[in-house]
Amino acid sequence: MMLYKKFILILLYTFLTINLKAQTGHQTISGKLVDIDSKEPLPFASIYLKGTTIGTTSNTEGYFVFHIPAKKTNHAIIISMMGYEKLEKIPALFLKEETIALSPISFELNEVFIPGKAIKPLTAREIVKKAHRSIPKNYPSEPYLLEGFIRDLQNEDGRYVEYLEYATKMYYQKNSIKSAPKVELLEVRRSYINDKHPWNDQWDRKNSIVDLIEDDFIRYDYGPIKGNKKWQYKIEGVLTFDDTKVYQISAINRPFQKATLYIDTKSFAFVRIELVISTLKNRNYSSRLTNGQQEVGYHLIFEYQKINDKMYLKYQKEEDIWRIYEGLETRNVLFTKYPKKELFINHVVIEKLEEYPFKQNLQKHKSIESQAKEFNPEFWKYYNAPRETQALSKIATELRKIN
């Protein structure tokens, strides 16, 4: 009887879902991802349609919302996160605001080696060097396009002064591993700017998407990914990610830099890269710039997704700390600024690019807010942006009141 009732509920839910799709052209699912044991939220997990390149990401509180095109609702939903068992579920079985628990998985290091063969295990440095040599094989050389959502927050002395959210497309040309993409600015959802320090009037900050593009380790070949002697590497363990296993390797370049590299144990592709640079007491890794600012903190994350045996960017975050000095010779600090930028990829286009609309229009030397069109609510209604957190909602509300 219980199975019969469950079957009837599924049929009813499916019927309602079909009607909803017919009216809107989309099916929307939402929920929260947590660790099955600790019940802690799981941030930045991937939620995507199996067999497609369409997806979204959970926010820092573990919440997600995913708008599925009506023509794609026959695809299963995949939920995947580094170190956790992958979940596969059809859209009709998702409950409204469902809490979904994922199970953590880790492996012993010797599980990634072939048993019974006398193969000397690779050292951490050798793994990183092999991953670096494998970049041409693992990353695309053919043209492709990334569509995604960018959030740009500016904080000065603990006070938020700027909040931007916008959608963009980035077109990468053939053999463009070391060249920047062409960019289309689609729509701007938020553009709140208030009471920034007057110092900003004399420093024209590049727009956030240019900043993000310029910090791509893979594309511009720098940072801890080369395996050179300046860095010390250590294998911390082996984790699961989707249907593969990845080495977790810590790296230190004393005294300022620390990194964690996640590398596929079979293809040796970089799956995730994290880098933290920070000052030590009175020692700084960065020299003063001519406009009186000095970087004193830097945190960068890249995470990639595999599509047709090639790795494409899925998520990028950059957080900085800058001290702004009064003049070039004095050590008097005017203020400290904390910029934070995030890029969430929700669609990768690798086939029939000529049929996918794209118009290069970004003026990279002008700010995003100066290029924004009038707000378009229809565009954002079913756009796959990460769900807003309570903290972000509060920031937006405060800045909206002032604006």
- Quote the pTM value: 0.90
pLDDT at 132: 97
58-88 pLDDT, tens digit per residue, is: 999 999 999 999 899 899 999 999 999 999 9
pLDDT at 8: 46
Cα–Cα distance list, 296 to 150, 153, 285, 325, 379 (Å): 24, 18, 7, 12, 39
Higher pLDDT, 111 or 156: 156
What is the Cα–Cα distance from 153 to 140, expressed in whole angstroms?
A: 31
Higher pLDDT, 5 or 134: 134
- Is the pLDDT reported for residue 16 higher than 60? no
pLDDT at 373: 92
- Is the pLDDT reported for residue 31 higher than 80? yes
The full set of domains in the chain, from first to last, is: 2-104 (2.60.40.1120), 137-402 (no CATH)
Taking 3-state DSSP, the helix, strand and coil percentages for the chain, each rounded to the nearest 5, stand at 20, 40, 35
Q: What is the mean pLDDT of the chain?
A: 88
Query: Which residues, at least 6 apart from 300, have a Cβ–Cβ distance to it below 8 Å?
Result: 215, 217, 273, 274, 275, 276, 316, 317, 318, 319
Q: Predicted confidence band at 11 (pLDDT cuts at 50, 70, 90)?
A: very low
Portion of the chain with pLDDT greater than 70, in percent: 90
As a whole number, mean pLDDT of residues 279-299 equals 85
